[in-house]
């Protein structure tokens, strides 16, 4: 316990020093980090040329100084244009977690601990120099005893403890930030840290990556154009991942692909269809399809690598995404607004009309532009900019879709700029919409709504008792804004007017009935001063009745 406290104090000191070095000493002061870090003021710079660096660059430099956990935080945050402004996103995308590799001695030790045997008993050959080294682990090329070429990913020693300490501190800093800065509450930093923590904890467990690879592989069982490397479970654990070694050409290496005689347009189309299959049909997709994670194999086969970052879309999100794509293509701002409202957590004070106007202005940018020239990724990013403006929080996995689409478009643009991504996307979107209208799907959603209604009905008595108890204690509060009150008062006026009209019509009818009865008893004509009183009264009553009916029908439509 004492050692953990010392680690925290030392880490707080490093965090404060990094913030101060980039001119964020006011954050250190406001969050009270000075209490946790004795004598921090000694390291406070006398001056800092803030004009030479933007806010985004200074944030990136702080994260780089703080190491693996914070670099990963920045990389994940760079996928959230719905939360952070573009100038910060651009800088966070530059974050690289390149670190020196750990020793071959450590590699042997970890394999012995994880696989329960010596390295030589599992691998016939094993390269001592890693193919790549990152903050969480490094990859070595090897050959199994059975002769298969494999890539072995090994977790960096002690990284789990370091990340655990950093996550504990991040939670505390997020809570401090929420309590000290009123403007930051809308960003929900504690929830963001929770989301980040889950992502990072999954990345520390290589069995998650292995399962991700197998889930995506199942989507392409009958598609020979897409290949996913095989996982060797017998030689894989939380800290060691052994997978099939893929030797191909990076999809970004255009010249090499041309020299090998590959059809670049066909490759671009297959790559796009592979991504859309994962997003729209499977609902489980590669979250980071950058050129290093996509290679081309003989026979124009696309292979996806590294499944540490994936996105998940449930049926509702898939449908809303398809609706959004179709609304973009048809330039329908109303449908776009509906899709955004269905997908995001919308603050109560959002001005729906103003939001629609901003969406319409965005669509004017694409008016008359051929679909082959429309960037789907850019359009989605622009939508995120609007959601940021109105503080609409979008699901993290949907935001990851936007990131994947942008990355995909960059690759396609390099291969063949004439390929229309929207044209390829339309059949996938249309299929989702048609599937949603299928009787089986409609019945499933109806049954779900019936169950939800049943649960709500079952809990109604309890909710009513709670409401009654609150009312008895005098704590029932009615919170209605002026904007909400106006339509209620207007409706009340209409009801009052119609009620008054009904009373007048009833009184008039009674008077007319009395006149008719009196004239009948007296045996006199209905003419009064040669005026047909009864007939005129009947016409007036009918006009009043039809007027009342029209007013009621009209009020029901408004």
Would you tell me how many other CB atoms lie within 10 Å of the CB of residue 523?
6
Taking the C-alpha atoms of residue 57 and residue 348, their distance in angstroms, rounded to an integer, is 34
Tokens 């994962």 locate to 278
Q: State the Cα–Cα distance between residues 544 and 112, nearest whole angstrom.
A: 94
Please, which residues bridge with residue 269 across strands? none
Residue 137's closest CA among 126, 150, 152, 123? 152
Structure tokens at 321: 């995404």
CA–CA gap between residue 46 and residue 41 (Å, rounded): 11
- What angle do the packed helices 264-276 and 396-415 form, to 10 degrees? 170
Tell me how far apart the alpha carbons of residues 159 and 279 are, in angstroms, rounded to a whole number: 32
8 Å CB contact between 347 and 47? no
The tokens of 331 are what? 């330039």
Rounded to an integer, what distance in angstroms lies between the CA atom of residue 534 and that of residue 515? Answer: 8
As a whole number of angstroms, the distance between CA 354 and CA 350 comes to 8
Q: Quickly list DSSP for 480-511.
A: --HHHHHHHHHHHHHHHHHHHHHHHHHHHHHH
Annotated catalytic residues are 288
Instruction: State the virtual CA torsion across 447, 450, 451, 453 in degrees, nearest 10.
Output: 160
């Amino acid at each position: 316990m004492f050692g953990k406290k010392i680690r925290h104090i030392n880490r707080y000191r490093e965090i404060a020093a990094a913030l101060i070095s980039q001119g964020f000493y006011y954050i250190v002061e406001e969050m009270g980090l000075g209490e946790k870090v004795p004598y921090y003021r000694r390291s406070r710079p006398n001056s800092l040329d803030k004009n030479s660096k933007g806010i985004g660059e200074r944030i990136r430099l702080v994260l780089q100084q703080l190491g693996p956990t914070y670099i990963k935080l920045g990389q994940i945050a760079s996928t959230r244009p719905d939360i952070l402004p573009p100038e910060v996103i651009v800088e966070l995308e530059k974050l690289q977690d390149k670190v020196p590799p750990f020793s071959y001695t450590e590699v042997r030790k970890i394999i012995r601990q994880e696989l329960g045997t010596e390295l030589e008993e599992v691998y016939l050959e094993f390269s001592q120099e890693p193919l790549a080294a990152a903050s969480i682990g490094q990859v070595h090329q090897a050959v199994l005893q059975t002769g298969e070429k494999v890539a072995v990913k090994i977790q960096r020693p002690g990284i789990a403890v370091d990340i655990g300490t950093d996550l504990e501190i991040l939670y505390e800093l997020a809570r401090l930030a929420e309590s000290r800065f009123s403007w930051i509450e809308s960003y929900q930093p504690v929830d963001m840290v929770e989301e980040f923590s889950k992502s990072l904890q999954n990345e520390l467990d290589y069995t998650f990556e292995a399962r991700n690879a197998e889930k995506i592989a199942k989507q392409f069982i009958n598609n020979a154009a897409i290949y996913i490397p095989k996982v060797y479970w017998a030689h894989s654990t939380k800290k060691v991942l052994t997978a099939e070694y893929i030797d191909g050409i990076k999809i970004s290496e255009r010249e090499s692909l041309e020299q090998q005689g590959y059809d670049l347009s066909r490759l671009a189309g297959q790559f796009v269809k592979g991504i859309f299959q994962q997003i729209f049909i499977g609902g489980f997709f590669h979250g980071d399809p950058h050129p290093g994670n996509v290679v081309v194999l003989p026979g124009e086969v696309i292979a996806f690598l590294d499944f540490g970052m994936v996105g998940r879309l449930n049926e509702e999100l898939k449908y809303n995404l398809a609706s959004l794509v179709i609304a973009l293509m048809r330039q329908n701002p109303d449908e776009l607004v509906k899709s955004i409202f269905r997908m995001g957590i919308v603050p109560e004070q959002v001005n729906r009309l103003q939001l629609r106007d901003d969406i319409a202005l965005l669509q004017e940018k694409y008016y008359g532009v051929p679909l082959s020239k429309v960037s789907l990724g850019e359009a989605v990013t622009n939508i995120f900019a609007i959601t940021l403006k109105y503080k609409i929080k979008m699901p993290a996995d949907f935001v990851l879709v936007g990131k994947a689409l942008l990355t995909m478009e960059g690759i396609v643009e390099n291969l063949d700029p004439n390929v229309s991504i929207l044209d390829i996307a339309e059949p996938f979107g249309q299929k989702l919409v048609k599937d949603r209208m299928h009787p089986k799907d409609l019945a499933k959603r109806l049954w779900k709504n019936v169950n939800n209604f049943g649960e709500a009905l079952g809990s109604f008595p309890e909710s009513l008792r709670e409401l009654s108890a609150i009312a008895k204690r005098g704590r029932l509060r009615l919170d209605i804004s002026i904007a909400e009150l106006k339509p209620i008062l207007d409706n009340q006026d209409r009801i009052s007017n119609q009620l008054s009209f009904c009373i007048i019509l009833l009184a008039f009818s009674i008077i007319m009935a009395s006149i008719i009865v009196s004239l009948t008893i007296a045996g006199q004509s209905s003419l009064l001063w040669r005026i047909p009183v009864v007939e005129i009264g009947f016409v007036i009553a009918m006009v009043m009745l039809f007027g009342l009916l029209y007013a009621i029908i009209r009020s029901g439509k408004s």
